[in-house]
């Protein structure tokens, strides 16, 4: 089966998108499908380039058994639109920026459409407290489980296989 490449994108690549990257990698690994996915994250802005994810994203990931401390923020590159099958933006502002960067790219989608089927934005928790990070963790987990179930081999149900990340 073809390997599916997914790039998660938020504004600075320190809160939502690195958390989504870590969650999807963990779910795919626990489902025995890690080799079926190429997963990365990037930001529409480059001001955090080279930095670790926000300490609150690291903390919420750690609380759910996921280590994202090795990730480093990066700015989206023009070749990302060619390299990845799906470029999943966390909110509509990110979608608009990505489409301005690559007007002809047909692989740019809102995470809320592609993964959650709700059309919702994943809100930026940067200026809030820990409850905002827990909220986005829950939404990202739900969407990432759906992505693995939809894009993974066998359409296998993941219930029970992701208990350590819930």
Ranges 14-23, 56-65, 89-98, 156-165: which has the least confidence: 156-165
Q: Is the pLDDT of residue 102 over 80?
A: yes
Q: Which residues contact 153 (CB under 8 A, 6 or more apart)?
A: 1, 33, 36
Question: Which domains are assigned to the chain?
Answer: 4-165 (3.40.50.2300)
Report the C-alpha gap between 153 and 118 in whole angstroms: 24
38 three-class SS: strand
Specify the pTM: 0.91
Q: What is the pLDDT at residue 152?
A: 79
Q: Which residue do the tokens 């759910």 mark?
A: 64
Give residue-wise pLDDT tens across range 18-56: 999 999 999 999 999 999 999 999 999 999 999 999 999
Measured CA distances, 92 to 35, 38, 96, 108, 121 (Å) = 30, 24, 6, 11, 7
110 three-class SS: strand
Q: What is the pLDDT at residue 163?
A: 36
Q: Is the pLDDT of residue 166 over 90?
A: no
Give residue-wise pLDDT tens across range 137-161: 999 999 999 999 999 743 343 333 4
Q: In what helix (H) or strand (E) does residue 87 lie, and over which residues does it extend? A: strand 86-89
Q: Is the pLDDT of residue 72 over 90?
A: yes
Mean pLDDT of the chain, nearest integer: 92
Average pLDDT score over residue span 96-108: 97
Q: In what helix (H) or strand (E) does residue 151 lie, and over which residues does it extend? A: helix 130-151
Distance of CA 76 to the CA centre of its chain: 14
Are 64 and 19 in contact, with CB atoms under 8 Å apart?
no
Residues that are catalytic: 10, 16, 124
């Amino acid at each position: 089966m073809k390997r599916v490449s997914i790039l998660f994108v938020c504004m600075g690549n320190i809160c939502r998108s690195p958390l989504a990257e870590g969650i999807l990698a963990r779910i795919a690994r626990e489902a025995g499908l890690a080799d079926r996915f190429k997963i990365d994250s990037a930001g529409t802005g480059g001001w955090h380039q080279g930095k670790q994810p926000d300490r609150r994203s690291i903390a919420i990931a750690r609380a759910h058994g996921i280590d994202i401390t090795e990730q480093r923020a990066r700015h989206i590159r023009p070749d990302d639109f060619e390299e990845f099958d799906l470029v999943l933006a966390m909110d509509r502002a990110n979608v608009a920026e990505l489409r301005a960067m690559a007007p002809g790219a047909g692989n740019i989608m809102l995470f809320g459409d592609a993964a959650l089927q709700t059309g919702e934005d994943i809100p930026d928790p940067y200026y809030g407290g820990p409850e905002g990070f827990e909220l986005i963790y829950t939404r990202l987990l739900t969407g990432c489980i759906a992505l693995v179930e939809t894009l993974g081999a066998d359409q296998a149900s993941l219930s029970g296989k992701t208990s350590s990340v819930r």
